[in-house]
A and B are shown apart, each in its own frame.
Chain A
Amino acid sequence: MTSKPVLYSYYRSSCSYRVRIALNIKGIDYDYRPVNMLKDGGEQYTDGFSELNPMKQVPVLIDKGHTLTQSLPIIEYLEETREGPKLLPEDPLSRATVRQVAEIIAAGIQPIQNLKVIRKVVQLTGREDVKPEWGNHWIDEGFKALEVILISCSGMYCVGDSLSLADVCLVPQVYNALRYKVDMEKFPVIKRINEKLKKLKPFIDASPDRQPDCPKGV
């Protein structure tokens, strides 16, 4: 029986990408179990996977017999149970600032441009072309707010000069933004921080194109 944590992930799921980054920052070796979100209607909808996660979403982390879902609680759990670089500062106000930025992305932007929501919008409108519009709209709107917030709290990274949970959430969201052709020139602070983060090894190793289930040619 393996004692390594197991991560159910899809290469380009931004929520899975966040957890991959955090695992890498903490130096945690893990087993990667791909869940193809498109094949056969989506493997996340199989009975086996739904049993693991009734929300039928990735990521899921299995650690020491515990099944954990939702990317931010997973990362907070890793923060509390593992040694390694900290992703949350010590003082409550700075912690709140980090969590605020993480939540703007994880609750304020990503859920609205999530695959299941986009599929529903396409179904209701009968228009495939609404997909890029919808994704672009919500990310662009969220980034307008995030840019202003980062102007006041960022330093080298999203919150001051220490790497944090906020940075872990930022890079995957910019990845999504680029997929939906958001004009990143409008968001110079987000762009600057993203470019800096993307050079760091934990972020490089977590990127979608480095994952075992990334299709060839992508």
Chain B
Amino acid sequence: MSKNKPILYSYYRSSCSYRVRIALHIKEVQYEYRAVNMLKDGGEHYKEEYGELNPMKQLPLFIDHNGEPISQSLAIIEYIDETYRQPIKLLPEDTHQRAIVRQIAEVIGSGIQPIQNLKVLRHVVKITENPEMKDEWAKFWIEEGFVALEKILERHAGTYCVGNSLTIADCFLVPQVYNATRYSVDLDKYPRIQRLNNSLCEIQAFKEAHPSQQPDVPKEIK
């Protein structure tokens, strides 16, 4: 079976794509970046070509080294963790700790981000007939989620989100903080989240995965 470089369909500031980029960089996996512009022409992810690859019409989409497609960032990252075991594993050995890592990932990945996803924002603007609702709505749900996340981290964080090793939870936290910053969430209200985010952003893999370092980042943002 031929083995090719894996491919990641990504948008520079899609937080879900950002999560997977972090995991790939932590694992030092060489991959091909295929940019999908979520704004151009109404969104390239809505084109038939991309829809055939991912019927959910969302990012990210990962094509593994055997050409098999996988969508949904947490499914992709668990696959990456199971397939590339070096240099570190992104889930602890202990079953309770693993559940906590996944819990934090899900609090972000299903408890916060889907509600402030672009397609939901567009729909909210449409039904309220209020363009300002976009930012208000996103900020509201991120803040609500962060209040809970701060308490969860109080119980479980050490150097990183869960104890003292990097895990999937950290791959989820940083992109969500990036979103929070875009929607003017005051991070001083969430000191643990802020501290963790600041430490994680110093790590090389996280720097390489940052939106500003992606091939499709607009020139004016670089």
Contact = CB atoms under 8 A, between A and B. Distances in A.
Interface of A: 54-57, 66, 68-70, 72-74, 76-77, 80-81, 92-93, 95-97, 99-100, 102-104, 106-108, 110-112, 114, 117, 120-121, 124-125, 130, 134, 137, 142, 144-146, 148-149
A132 to B, nearest CB: 13
Contact of A137 (B75, B114, B123): B123
Top-9 shortest CB links A-B: A73-B102, A99-B75, A103-B72, A54-B148, A96-B79, A148-B55, A54-B151, A107-B110, A70-B106
Contacts, number: 125
Nearest to A103: B72
Contacts of A100: 70-72, 75
B56 interface: yes
A112 B55 contact: no
Interface in B59-77: 64, 66, 68, 70-72, 74-76
B103 interface: yes
Contacts of A68: 96, 99, 103
Contact of B72 (A56, A69, A99): A99
Given A93-B70, A110-B110, 11 more contacts: A55-B148, A76-B99, A76-B102, A77-B99, A96-B70, A99-B78, A103-B72, A125-B128, A145-B57, A148-B55, A149-B56
B106 A73 contact: yes
Given A70-B106, A95-B79, A96-B70, A56 B148 contact: yes
A137 B79 CA distance: 31
B200 to A, nearest CB: 21
Interface in B123-150: 123-124, 127-128, 133, 140, 145, 147-149
Contacts of B117: 112
Given A93-B64, A99-B72, A121-B127, A111 B83 contact: no
B199 to A, nearest CB: 22
B70 A72 contact: no
